[in-house]
Structure formats: C-alpha cells, structure tokens
Amino acid sequence: MTRILIVDDSLTMRLYISTIAKQVRIDSDIILCASAEEAIPYIDEAFDYYSLDYTLPGMSGIELANKILHRHAIAKIVMVTGNKQEAVRSRCDAIKIAMIVKPDIEEPLITFFSEEKLT
Amino acid sequence: MNHSPKPVKNGLSEEAIYEALNKSEQGIIILSSTCKVEFWNQWMELTSKISHASAINQLLSSLFPQGLTKRMSHAINMALDSGRSSLLSQKLNKYPLPLYSSETERESDNPINQMVVIKPLYCGNSITNCLISVTDVSKSVNREKVLQEIAVRAQAGVNHLRNSEEQIRTIIESAQDGIITFSEDGSIGQFNSAAANLFQLSHSAMRSASIFNLIEDFYLANSAGLKKTSQIIKEQNINSNVIELTGRRLDSSTFPIEFTLSQLERPENPGYVSIIRDITSRKQAEERLEAMAQYDTLTGLANRSLFTERLKHAIKNTKRNSNYTILLFLDLDRFKVINDTLGHEVGDCLLVEVAKRISNTLRNNDTIARIGGDEFTIILENVSNSITGGRVAEKIIKKFDTPFDILGNKLTVSVSIGIATHPGAANSITELRRNADTAMYKAKISGRNKYCYFTSDMDEETKQRLSLETDLRKAIKNNEFTLHLQPLFNLKTGTTTGAEALIRWQHPERGNIPPAQFIPVAEDCGHIAEVGKWVFLNACKLAKMIYDAGHKEFRVSINISPKEFNIYKSPEQLVDTVKSAGIEPHNIDLEITEGCIMEDTKMSIDLLSKLSDAGFHISVDDFGTGYSSLAYLRHFPLDVLKIDQSFIRDLPQDPDAIAISKAILHLAHSLRLRVVAEGVETQEQMEFLKDNKCDVIQGYHIAKPMPAEQFINWLNKNH
Amino acid sequence: MISELQSDYIKELFNVGMGAAASELSELINDEVFMSVPSFQLINWQQLNKTLGYQPSESVTMVYVSMDGQLKGRGILIYPTTASLELAHRLSEDFSPLDDLTELEEEALSEISGIIINNIISTICKQLNVNAHTSLPICERGRWDSIAEKAIDIDTSHKIMFIGMYFSIKHKDLKGELLFLQDGETINELLTHTTNALKKMGVE
C-alpha cells in the first residue's frame, strides 16, 4: 500500500492531486490536509510521497518540508506552487526537493508519483 | 503590407489612413501573427535608423542587436496568443528599443525615453496582428525631473531649516541659564533643561506649566488669574534689562532670580522669551557681606552703621506714635586697665560677656550696639514713659554687681551710663547722640557705676519716681497702708447704708501720699495688683467688722482699678476672699469707673455678669466723665450710677449742671438703677438732690473719710 | 448559486494567476514579490461598498482593464491613494518627494496593475478554456464616490467577484482590492466552465 500525504489549502487542488495520485498508485492510502498545522500530527509517520503546496495559511510549505526532512531524511517531497519566482526555486533546490508550477501539474505529478517508492 | 482589406471609414481612403499612420508623431509597428514586421512608420525609421524597406518582413527581435526585452517579447506573445493588451511604462522598462532622437543623441548613447503600448489587432474574432506603438515621453521625464528638483530643493530647505533649528536647539539646551518662552496666557512654549532644573520640574510638568506659577511676581500680580502676561509686564515695568525677581517652585518655596525678557517676533501668537538665572548663592553672599557690614564681628551686636540706621528708624516711629525713644550710652569703667594688664584676649572675652549680660536685660525690639572699643549704645523704642530709661539703666548697673569670670580671671566691672530722651532737649539726632554722650561723661566724672540723664531735673524726677516705686513695694510689708471709710447716706431712709473704702498711704519719711499720686505709679510699675488685693481683702475685713457691730444690711464699696479689672478674670477669687473674711458678696459693692467699663464692652459685660451672678453689687463710678455708650448701658448688670462730683459741685445754681444731673437721675431711674451723688458739700445741694429723687449722697456735707474705728463709732452714733 | 467546490476552484485559479503575476512582476522590477492567499466572495454592490469601507470623500486610485469575448466585464484594482503613492515611489529608482503621482508614475502603476489583472485573466481563460481579450489598463484617481460611479457603471443588482489581495513589493506591504465585474450571464458562463473543468480533473 502506498501512503501519500497531500497538503494544499485549495479543496479543488487536494482532490485533483489525489485523483492524479490514484491514477498512478491505485493502492494508495491518501491523507489530505488543508494546512501545514493539520499535517503536523502525521510528521512521525513515514509516507511514500509528499505533495506540499508552497503558499499555505500559517506555516509555509517550505517550513513543513524542512520538518519532514528532519524526521525522514530521504522523504520524497514535491513542492506544488503557483509562484514560479526564482526565490522559490532556489529554496526548493536548497533542500533538494522538486518543484512543480501550477496550473500544469498533471504531467509532472504523474512523473513524480511514478518514481520508485522507498519502501 | 499584407493587412486584410478593411472597409474605409468616414470617407477616408486607405492611402489617407496609411499616411496618417506613417506620419504619426508616435512610432507605429504592426507585426504579423508570426512576429514579422508588416508596418514600420517614419517615426520608427528616423529614430531607429532602420528604413521601412529593411524592416519589412523581418522578425522584430532580429532587427536589433540586443534583441527584445523579455517583457516585450512576452507582451507581444500574449497579444498574439491571448489578445492581451500591455502597457510598458517608462519607469519599469528603460529603453525597450534602441531609439534616438538625433545623431548627437545616438553618438552619446542617449536613447529616447519610451512608453510602449502593445495591442492585438482583430479581423472579426481572430487575432491577426499585433500593434506596437512607441511614445516619446522625454518631455514628461524632464517635467518630472524639474518637479523632483523643486521638491528636492524644498526638502533641502526644510532640512537646512531643521538643521539650523537643531543647532539652535543644541545651543539653547547646553546653556546654563534657564531659557523659557511663553505666550500671552502664560503657557510655557519651549524651554531648556536648565530651566526645568531651576524649577525642579520634570520635562512633561514643564511643558504644561504656566509662567504665572513659576515667577512669584507674576503670580502675585495675577491673583484673579485673568491677566495677560503683556499686561503684567507693562504694570511691573519689566523691560529688556536684567531685573531681580523671585522664582517659585512647586512647593511654593521661592528663590531669587535674575530675569531678562525679550519679545518674540510672532504676530500670530505673541509671546516672550526669558532668560532666568538662579542667584540664591549670590544673594546669600550679598547678605553675608551686608551682615558683616552691619554687625560687630566680636560681639555680634549691631555695629555703628546699623545703630545709626536703627536710631533714625526709631525717631521716625516716635514721631508717628507720639511716644518716646530713649538713647543710652554705656562705657565700661576702667576697661583700658584690664586690657593692658590682662591682655586683649581677656579684654575681648569680657566684651563678649558684657554684651550678653546687657542684651539679656533688654526687650526684643530694643537695639544694643557696640560702637567703639568698650562703648555700647542702647536704643529703647516705643517707650511710653521717659522714666523707663532710668529703670533700664538701674537694671543694667545691678547686673554688673556680679563679677565676670573670664578665662579664669574674676573681674569686677562697672559701667557708666548716659541717658537722653526724645522728645526732649535735643533738636536733631546728632544732638541727641551728643547729649547721651555728655550724660555718660557726667556719670563718669561724678563717681562711675551710675547713670545720668542729660537734663538734671530728669535725674531728680526719675529718682523720686523710682524711689516711690521701691517704697510702694515695701508699703504693704511695712503696713503703711490703711483704709478709710466715707459714708453713703440714703436720702430716702435718712440712714447710712454703706461706705466707700479709700486707701491711704502713710509714708514713714514723706508722710501722707495721696492716692492720686501713688495709684498711677502703682499701675505703671505693675504693683497695682498687690495693692488692689490688699485693698479688697481689708475692705472685706472692715465689712465684717461693721456686720459684727450689728449693721447687717451694710454694704462696703470697693474701687476696682481699670488695671486690676483685667486681673480679676475669675470672680471665684473675689468670692473666696469675701467668704474667707466671713461675709457674703452682697455685702460688697464693686465700684468701677465708667471709662473702664466702656473700654471693652463685651469683656465688661461678661465679667460684670459673672460678678453680679456671684452676688456682688456693681456701681459705675464717675458717671458722666467717660464715653458711655447709652446703648450698652442697659446691657450691663448694674445696680448704681455714681454721678461724678464735677456735676454736683455747680448745683444748684448752674442751669447746665441742673439739667445734666436731672437727666442722669431720670436715666438711671428709667433703667431701674439707683443713683449716688458724689461730692455733696452743701445743704442746698443735698436738698436739690433730695427733691430730684436722688437715692444716696456722699460728701463732706455728710462726713469726711474716716479710719475704721472712728467710722464705726460715727455709724453707731448717727445710724 | 455557487457551490463550495466551484468557489474553491475559482479561488485556486486566482491564486495561480496571482502566482504568475508575482513571477512576472518580480522579473520586471528585479526583486522578490510576495502575494498572499486571496479571499474570494461573490457579493452585490451594497455588500462590496460595506466591505471596502471607503469614506465617500476618501482619495482612491483605481486601475481597470476591460474584458471582451467569452468573459465580458472589467477587472479593477483599487488602492487607497496613499498606498498607491508609496508603491509608485518605491518603484521609481529616483527619489520622488512629491505627494502626488506624476504621469510616468501613474503609468508604472497602471502597468503593474495590468500585469496582475491580465495574469489572472489568462490563468482563468487557460484553465477554463475560454477566451477574453483585454484593453489597456486605465488609471483613475479621485474621491471614492465619484470613482465608484465611473468604474462600477453596472447594474447594482449584479454580482461582483471580489478578491481581497495582499502583496508585498520592495518591502512595502500593500493591500489592493481586486474586483471582477461581470453581468449575470457572464458569471453563469464562468460557473459552467468551472464545473466542466472540475469534471475534467476528475473532481466532483
């Protein structure tokens, strides 16, 4: 079973991303969170894939990503963002996570979820 | 020119429209949907130096060595793909295209300031072209620059002003004197720290303070709180000079200040700037200096200059209050000898001790000064009696009876004193001083250790008077007083119902001294209380004697002196004396003069009421001679009015005497008071009084005052 | 009238559009641009007026873009004038101690506002598969009551898409209010397209 954590403040996005994820990983158990704070209780659990939105209310996606990496150093995280400014990219690069720019997220996400699982 | 054919609008031909675009003052480029140039107007030719022919059908980006900016490319694509119009502002897009207005500009690489607009062009619903228009906004740029320059300069001006302000503020702040600005209503404007410190206020307290509360003179001048500062400044005549005023602190304590004032050039809010300096320490130094200049450093007594001042002042007061100023000059006898034999140290110490001893005999407002080596002067101010000079001199001489103990030396010192009085022989202050000096010299040459008046008869008079005082004191002890009684004859009953007790003094040397002479002396030297007590006690004893002799309703009248009147604050004392003699208060009649009662009517009413309640009879003596207030008369608890003998004397001839006596009789009877007529000496007088319903008479016609035994015999015979 | 899912998706579209705008702006001014998560409401004129809370005499700056095609209407950005001045001044490299906008500054403000509005429109068009062409951005400044009259010259019973938006440019936080004025027909069309898009994404 594939465990996936999706964090995005847009309901539509959460549903959309999980639809894509399910396409690739039929057996996925998906946790949806509307904010980083909602995701915190799941920090200790190891997920196979993390999809994080960059602009979140409260704690940002990057900060959440850092927390996850601190706990699970080789976690597979993708930052889904509408903000394709250079600054965002460099932040993602700094912690070595992939970045996908909205709105054309389908293809890149498929690629992401197709990557080999860790477990 | 591959544009789709369009219908001609408004009667204009295509050529005309083309010309319009070509000749436009803006740069106009039309691109195809593949970004190739399809129209390049003259303005573009001129400014880019790319001809229409060279531009046509080229990719716009390839026309320029640097290509197009990202923004421009994106905007063009958006126009062609999505129909987006874009505005490329000059501010955010510096020189999107390399265009120059002239060769010189091109050479100096000074491109045109451009504003570029990119719009899609439609044919029906599809986007077929892209329109790029370039506007030269150099004028706007220059205008903006000018505006900015003006603004910058204005700001610089403001800054400069602010800096100057800052500088001035720093100067003011660092000043040691307090600087305060204030307005018409007294409110404080600006101030420096020195000012706040001066008045011991915090900065915030200072900000809300008012000059009226900080300067005492302003405060006092504006008690109603309605004045403006300019008013006060005018009233107090404060100009731009430095003046001394008084500063005022929160706790209402004050301190001397130096105050300088200037007006502020401020028509919309008139005000002043003041510079304030605390001169407390300066004033203190001045005072110390002044004190040094006025006091003898050795003894602390006033020095010559202060003495002179005080004397002038005393003389002035004397004129005003019509009393005496007495000047005493003192000289220590044989001081030089002591100084020479025992040394200056002893001499100085002796002077200090002498000064102390003399000072202790004086009142607070008397002045003692040291005007020379061993010379002292005393000013007695506000003296009612010239005798006082001698009295004080006596006291001082007595003080010197006790030897002085100076640094282990027992020294007997005596003093010679000269007295001069004003008003007196002298016609000027200088003469007064000279007279006192002469008198002192007289004292010295006539034996020392004594006093002398300048006028010799004063010597005699004083001596007499002082000896009388001394003798009076001894009189009671030596039983030199006796009481005589003069009968009071009741005209209605024809019997003697009372008697007035009168004091007599038999001086061993001088013989009989009349009360008229010694009573004033007694009152003056304060001995009257003892005399009065003696009289009262013995009068009671006499009353008892008469009572025992069978005359139960007899009443003895005792004169109460005005001076004693104040001493008898409690009737209980009197009652005790009466009872201890064995009689009752109703056996005693207190005779008080009219003048005495009327002096303090309220006190009199109180006291007399108490005495009357205690049982004493009250008589008003010498009625008609004082300043009676008839209004008060009915409020006094009185029994008897005694008509003064001056009215009786002229009866029964004098019509005025008749009128007054009748009037008093009528008045007394209307007030239910009995009347005693004093000084009745003739039968006619007696008959007149009897006819006019007078109750009692007293006088030689009945009997003279008699000693006690004689009186009782007389009473028994004539009762 | 509008479901939660539709509302959420439209909001997300605005978000993405703003993200694109932020990118483009940051390239243009060569500095980082921050944009907040927008709020989205479909309200009428009275509610809008209340929400905006401008006093009738308050000075307001407005930049608007007219839309035509499948999405008709206007996209309007409203700033309090003081905020717009600050923004313009910060964008100018030269110091401008003026208390009013120069023409050039006004143009810069128009450009930025235009980029924001256009990016949003482009995102919506792309995702919902509709087209709309836009005019140049136009800037107006003045009292709120007269601006409102001029800009919002639409039947006041119509619905307005109101998006509150915060962005930060050159360390200056700004709040601009973004409105999309559409007639009822257009809004309905918009919603229809939204539903279609959702279906395509497999989101119901």
If DSSP states are collapsed to H, E and C, what string results for chain A? CEEEEEECCCHHHHHHHHHHHHHHCCCEEEEEECCHHHHHHHCCCCCCEEEEECCCCCCCHHHHHHHHHHHCCCCCEEEEECCCCHHHHHHHHHCCCEEEECCCCHHHHHHHHHCCCCC
The total of other beta-carbon atoms located within 10 Å of residue A86's CB is: 11
Q: Is B159 on the interface with C (CB under 8 A)?
A: no
CA distance B78 to chain C (A): 9
Is the Cβ pair C137, B93 closer than 8 Å?
no
d(CA B114, CA B382): 107
Q: Which of A61, A48, A33, A46 is nearest to A117 (CA)?
A: A48
Residues of C in contact with B122 (CB under 8 A): 133
B595 pLDDT above the threshold of 60: yes
Question: What is the per-residue pLDDT for B1?
Answer: 41
Instruction: State the average pLDDT for chain C.
Output: 81
Residue of C4, C12, C29, C193 to mutate when probing chain A, most A C-beta within 10 A:
C12
CA distance C64 to chain B (A): 12
Query: How long is chain A?
Result: 119
Q: How confident is the model at residue B85 (pLDDT cuts 50, 70, 90)?
A: very high
Domains and CATH numbers, chain A: 2-114 (3.40.50.2300)
Residues of A in contact with C17 (CB under 8 A): 82
d(CA B674, CA A118): 142
d(CA B203, CA B209): 10
Q: Are B501 and B559 in contact (CB under 8 A)?
A: yes
For chain C, the C-alpha Rg in angstroms (whole number) is: 17
The total of other beta-carbon atoms located within 10 Å of residue B149's CB is: 10
Q: Is C110 on the interface with B (CB under 8 A)?
A: yes
Residues B557, B583, B489: CA angle, nearest 5 degrees: 35
Question: What is the per-residue pLDDT for B2?
Answer: 43
Question: What is the per-residue pLDDT for B41?
Answer: 93
Residues of A in contact with C4 (CB under 8 A): 11
**% chain B with pLDDT above 70:** 96
Residues C63, C65, C67: CA angle, nearest 5 degrees: 160
Is the Cβ pair A55, C22 closer than 8 Å?
no
d(CA C156, CA C177): 18
d(CA B1, CA A113): 52
Question: What is the per-residue pLDDT for B369?
Answer: 93
d(CA B513, CA B468): 10
Pairing of strands C39-43, B706-707: unpaired
Q: Is C194 on the interface with B (CB under 8 A)?
A: no
Question: What is the per-residue pLDDT for C158?
Answer: 66
Please give the average per-residue pLDDT across C108-122, as a whole number.
90
B3 pLDDT above the threshold of 60: no
Please give the average per-residue pLDDT across C35-49, as a whole number.
78
**B292-330 residue pLDDT tens:** 778 888 888 888 888 988 999 998 888 888 888 999 999
d(CA B291, CA B194): 31
B450 vs B7, higher pLDDT:
B450
User: Which pair of tokens denotes residue B585?
Assistant: 């208060």
Nearest Cβ partner for A10 among C11, C22, C35 = C11
Q: Which of C3, C18, C125, C199 is nearest to A16 (CA)?
A: C199
Q: Which residue reads 């003064």 in tokens? A: B644
Question: What is the per-residue pLDDT for B9?
Answer: 61
User: Which pair of tokens denotes residue B460?
Assistant: 């005699």
Q: How confident is the model at residue C189 (pLDDT cuts 50, 70, 90)?
A: confident
d(CA B300, CA C66): 105
Is the Cβ pair C95, B140 closer than 8 Å?
no
Q: Which of B45, B18, B21, B163 is nearest to B99 (CA)?
A: B45
Q: Which amino acid is at B568?
A: Y
For chain A, the C-alpha Rg in angstroms (whole number) is: 13
B482 vs C30, higher pLDDT:
B482
Q: How confident is the model at residue B564 (pLDDT cuts 50, 70, 90)?
A: low
Residues B295, B296, B298: CA angle, nearest 5 degrees: 135
Q: Which of B295, B373, B299 is nearest to B338 (CA)?
A: B373
d(CA C179, CA C75): 6
Residues of C in contact with A10 (CB under 8 A): 8-9, 11-12, 15
CA distance C40 to chain B (A): 24
Q: Is C136 on the interface with B (CB under 8 A)?
A: yes
Q: B395-429 burial, b for 16+ CB within 10 Å, e for fewer? A: ebbeebeeebebeeeebebebbbbbbbbebebeeb
B668 pLDDT above the threshold of 80: yes
C155 pLDDT above the threshold of 70: no
Q: Are B375 and B331 in contact (CB under 8 A)?
A: yes
Please give the average per-residue pLDDT across B451-468, as a whole number.
77
Please give the average per-residue pLDDT across B625-647, as a whole number.
80
Residue A11: CA count within 13 A, CB half-sphere:
12
Q: Which residue reads 């460099």 in tokens? A: A90
Instruction: State the average pLDDT for chain B.
Output: 86
d(CA B173, CA B492): 100
Residues of C in contact with B155 (CB under 8 A): 97
| SS3 per residue for B130-160 | EEEEEEECHHHHHHHHHHHHHHHHHHHHHHH
Identify residues of C whose CB sits under 8 angstroms from chain A CBs.
4-5, 8-9, 11-13, 15-20, 22-23, 26, 32-33, 35-37, 123, 126-127, 198, 201-203
Question: Nearest residue of A to residue C127 by CA position?
Answer: A103
A36 pLDDT above the threshold of 80: yes
B519: left (phi over 0), alpha (psi -120 to 50) or beta: alpha
User: Which pair of tokens denotes residue C138?
Assistant: 């136009």
Residue B10, beta-bridge partner list? none
Q: Which amino acid is at B346?
A: V
Q: Is C114 on the interface with B (CB under 8 A)?
A: yes
Nearest Cβ partner for B85 among C92, C105, C136 = C136
Question: What is the per-residue pLDDT for B188?
Answer: 92
A112 vs A82, higher pLDDT:
A112
Residue B559: CA count within 13 A, CB half-sphere:
21
Residue B410, beta-bridge partner list? B405
CA distance A13 to chain C (A): 8
User: Which pair of tokens denotes residue B325?
Assistant: 């100023």
User: Which pair of tokens denotes residue C110?
Assistant: 């128009």
Query: How long is chain C?
Result: 204
Please give the average per-residue pLDDT across C83-98, as a whole number.
68
Please give the average per-residue pLDDT across A27-41, as a whole number.
92
E strands of B455-562, at which residues?
Answer: 481-490, 495-507, 511-513, 555-560
Q: Which of B699, B707, B702 is nearest to B678 (CA)?
A: B699
Looking only at Cα atoms, what is the longest distance across chain C? 55
Q: Is B117 on the interface with C (CB under 8 A)?
A: yes
**B389-415 residue pLDDT tens:** 888 999 999 999 899 998 888 888 889
d(CA B590, CA B289): 62
Give backbone dihedrals phi and psi of B318, rounded to 5 degrees, phi first: -60, -45
For B494, B544, B549, C130, the CA distances from B712, given in Å and listed in that order, are 17, 12, 8, 154
Question: What is the per-residue pLDDT for A4?
Answer: 93
d(CA C27, CA B72): 12
Question: What is the per-residue pLDDT for B533?
Answer: 85
Q: How confident is the model at residue B349 (pLDDT cuts 50, 70, 90)?
A: very high
d(CA B65, CA B325): 122
d(CA B499, CA B143): 128
B86 pLDDT above the threshold of 90: yes
**% chain B with pLDDT above 90:** 32
Q: Which of B652, B633, B648, B629 is nearest to B700 (CA)?
A: B648
User: Which pair of tokens denotes residue A6?
Assistant: 């999706």
Please give the average per-residue pLDDT across C5-23, as a whole number.
86
* ipTM of this complex prediction, to 2 decimal places: 0.87
Residue B707: CA count within 13 A, CB half-sphere:
7
Please give the average per-residue pLDDT across B484-505, as a whole number.
91
Q: Which of B449, B465, B391, B445 is nearest to B421 (CA)?
A: B391
Please give the average per-residue pLDDT across A2-23, as a whole number.
91
Nearest Cβ partner for C12 among A12, A56, A84 = A12
B26 pLDDT above the threshold of 90: yes
**B537-555 residue pLDDT tens:** 999 999 999 988 888 889 9
User: Which pair of tokens denotes residue C53?
Assistant: 């809370």
Q: How confident is the model at residue C94 (pLDDT cuts 50, 70, 90)?
A: low
Residues of C in contact with A86 (CB under 8 A): 26
d(CA C95, CA C114): 24
User: Which pair of tokens denotes residue B545?
Assistant: 């004697």
Residues of C in contact with A101 (CB under 8 A): 19
CA distance C97 to chain B (A): 6
SS3 B238: coil
* Residue C136 burial (10 A CB sphere; 0-12, 13-18, 19+): middle
Nearest Cβ partner for B147 among C65, C102, C107 = C102
Q: Is B in contact with A (3 or more beta carbon pairs below 8 Å)? A: no
Nearest Cβ partner for C136 among B117, B140, B147 = B117
Q: How confident is the model at residue B608 (pLDDT cuts 50, 70, 90)?
A: confident
Q: Are B701 and B683 in contact (CB under 8 A)?
A: yes
Q: How confident is the model at residue C203 (pLDDT cuts 50, 70, 90)?
A: confident
ω into B423 cis (within 30 of 0): yes
Pairing of strands B555-560, B588-593: parallel
CA distance B115 to chain C (A): 9
Is the Cβ pair B152, C95 closer than 8 Å?
yes
B5 pLDDT above the threshold of 60: no
**B192-223 residue pLDDT tens:** 999 999 999 999 999 999 998 899 888 888 87
